[in-house]
Amino acid sequence: MAEPIHRTLGLTDDELEKIIGILGREPNHLELAMYSVMWSEHCSYKSSRIHLKRLPVEGEHVLVGPGENAGVIDVGDDIAIAIRIESHNHPSYIEPYQGAATGVGGIIRDIFTMGARPIAIMDPLRFGPIDDARSRWVAEGVVSGISGYGNSVGVPNIGGETVFDETYIGNPLVNVLCLGILPKDRLVLGQASGVGNLAVLLGATTGRDGIGGVSVLASAGFGDDEEDAEKRPSVQVGDPFEEKRLIECCLELLDAGLVVGIQDLGGAGLSCAASETASRGGVGMDFDVSAVPQREDDMEPFEIMTSESQERMLAIVSPDNLDEVITISNKWEIRSSVVGKVTDGGQLRIMDGFEGATLGDIPAISLHEDAPLYDRPMAAPEDLDAKKEDKPEHSIGTNDVAEDLLNLLTSYEWITSQYDSQLFLNTVAGTDSDAAVLRLKHPLTGEDTGRGIAVTTDGNHRWCAVNPKIGTAMTVAEAMLNLACVGAKPRALVNCLNFGNPEYPNVMWQLSEAVDGMAEACSEFNIPVVGGNVSLYNESQGNNIDPTPIVGLIGVIDDLDMAPPGLKWNEGDRLMVIGPEPKGLSGSAWAFAHDKRNGELNQVDYEMHEKVCDTVRILVNEKLVTAVHDVSTGGLAVAVAEMAVKSGIGCSLARVPDIESMFSESSSRVVIAVDPEQMQSVEEIIQDNGMPSTRIGLAHGNNYTIKGLIEVELSTIQKRWESHLPKAFEAGTTQG
């Protein structure tokens, strides 16, 4: 017996009954297809919405919070910043280049949909083990896709992070963050208004590429290679040059005041854009499916309405302005087609010509507000208490400390060098810094305000595997400290919550705990969450990824008269650690490298952490430190090694008594390098702020030395640091 059509589209029997109740009749094929993509996990957040409500979303500087295409914050001088983070995980495993490329393209559209010019992207990436040939193939394709699209469209890539780990084998995480800048008065929302106004489709033609794309792929895990190959047609294909023209066209339309509302076409395509603009505005829309420019013959209405073909926007335009809209579109060689009319009554009607047959008739709001909301069962692991007691132990006598350090060192320049980080010449600090820094220039005049924008992306699956609540709070804290290291104070946060199959109670428990950790940290630090993304069903052959919440944190530097100090110290600098003593090895890279995955994390001391951030920010902004670096992945040993490599100058450390002191990743610690002449001023500020600190050594020579534990030539560390990724990729890749 054939599978009922609603099940083949991913709808449950209960969801079908709900649709019948909404419509008062059986839905037809077109209507079912539209509900299936709009009620998918990716579009409706049906498994996570109940938990996301616990996040703090309001703040003094928030202009637009969650629910729109991007969050928008006020940064002063009548300037606003739009920020958004998204995932393209599943498409990037099926077709790495196009999956990653269209992820970049999609989030760029989210930004200029708000009236903002995209000015920077960042990419937090996660792949399977570096020694796995298929994972290297995925990584190579993803990096090429990001660079190929981003470099071509002309938006600088200023950072992110890359992780290779066995938990992501068969299911990479490809997250992308984008920033945009706009004058506050150009802010526009994605909603339709004004009965009789027109819906104008701008951009590329519509094809079968992307049908059911991210909206369907995001609601299913991966199986065997043959099954995954069948999903390739669901991956979209991007054109960065079309996107560039589309950006300029849309911004000119907005500057001219010709657009009432505008919405990008991403997941669920026209079904999403038409219904979202209508429902947000409290209106209806008649949509002429026959007016949509198509690049393939004989496309069915459901294909047109659910296609996720790229580089398309839906603008709401007054009939009086239509001719001018068409003129500007033609100037930028952008197709423009009237495909809809705003109506009253709240119905989304899909028509074959405005005077033709009605093919579908759906309450627009039902595709959004009536989407299922699941309070899925949650359960902590049965052996949670036993795991907490199984803390990583260490003994100096049984570990090759030097080899431990070398194994934790990797330069990601092989990846970041493929991205253009200097487009627009606004980038003050990029991939070599704890946070990226951009000059804040007025979006219309280009005048330099003398201020800066700082942004960082952070995530740590190891912490969250041990304790998802505390691990997520630590991730927020790390992001905050990264901003402090460049002299910035946080304004707002976005998140990308990457988890496994929500139908497993332990996965839902992980998600709920992570949300609680983020809510707690953001509330304590007074940081609003202005947007985000949830990516579920990250599993391969029944194996769920470790919980991986990613945060993007944006901050403001009030006086940017020179670049922040960065990681490079000078010969003779004194080295100090600001912050509390390290506690434990649970969740550390060192522990996981030794297959010690259990234990318990220490709660973030929010008051202490905020004081550490304040202290570091003062030292940076008063130009009292030569170099600064937060202690996170790999602990103090790795942080200092990275600074030594970047400086080309070795160090001698003392007061680092054991492996725990070397490799612990407990929160709220920063390494600073200080010119001897500035030591008194630095210590006075530290003392005035009541901060614990320790002098740990001296920057000098050609060796990396920790008294009693390790002595390695800096050249050895440099070689391991630089060669790890290139050597791995020289071994080749495989698709199969």
- Whole-angstrom Cα distance, residue 29 to residue 288? 17
Of all helices (H) and strands (E), which one includes residue 199? Answer: strand 198-203
526 DSSP assignment = T
> Dihedrals φ, ψ of 689, to 5°?
-90, 0
What does the radius of gyration of the chain's CA atoms come to, in whole angstroms? 26
- Whole-angstrom Cα distance, residue 714 to residue 651? 9
Buried b (16+ CB within 10 A) or exposed e, 245-264: bbbbbbbebbeeebbbbbbb
Those residues with Cβ within 8 angstroms of residue 331's Cβ, 6 or more apart along the chain or in another chain = 249, 252
Those residues with Cβ within 8 angstroms of residue 21's Cβ, 6 or more apart along the chain or in another chain = none
- DSSP helix/strand/coil, 549: strand
The answer to whether 6 is a known catalytic residue is no
Those residues with Cβ within 8 angstroms of residue 239's Cβ, 6 or more apart along the chain or in another chain = 204, 310, 311
**How far, in Å, are 85, 397, 495, 513 from residue 510 at the CA level?**
21, 36, 15, 5
Of all helices (H) and strands (E), which one includes residue 606? Answer: helix 606-621
Q: Which of 422, 573, 565 is nearest to 487 (CA)?
A: 565
Q: Which of 215, 216, 190 is nearest to 70 (CA)?
A: 190
Residues in the chain: 736
- Whole-angstrom Cα distance, residue 269 to residue 564? 42
Residue from 6, 51, 88, 461 carrying the catalytic annotation: 88
Please say whether the beta carbons of 489 and 40 come within 8 A: no
> Dihedrals φ, ψ of 429, to 5°?
-140, 135
Those residues with Cβ within 8 angstroms of residue 489's Cβ, 6 or more apart along the chain or in another chain = 483, 555, 556, 558, 617
Q: How far is CA 303 from the centre of its chain?
A: 29
Phi-psi region of 410 (alpha: psi -120 to 50; beta: other; left: phi over 0): beta
Those residues with Cβ within 8 angstroms of residue 354's Cβ, 6 or more apart along the chain or in another chain = 286, 288, 341
- Whole-angstrom Cα distance, residue 715 to residue 703? 8
| Other Cβ atoms within 10 Å of 14 Cβ, number | 9
Q: Which residue has the tokens 């990275």?
A: 642
Q: Which two tokens stand for residue 469?
A: 């609540």
Strand partners, 127: 164
Residue from 42, 90, 609, 724 carrying the catalytic annotation: 42
Q: Where are the beta strands (DSSP E) in 499-567?
A: 529-535, 539-540, 543-544, 548-557
Q: Can you list the alpha helix ranges (DSSP code H) found in 192-298? A: 213-217, 225-229, 240-255, 269-281
233 DSSP assignment = G
Those residues with Cβ within 8 angstroms of residue 258's Cβ, 6 or more apart along the chain or in another chain = 317, 318, 321, 324, 325, 328
> Dihedrals φ, ψ of 295, to 5°?
-105, 5
The answer to whether 88 is a known catalytic residue is yes
> Catalytic residue numbers?
42, 88
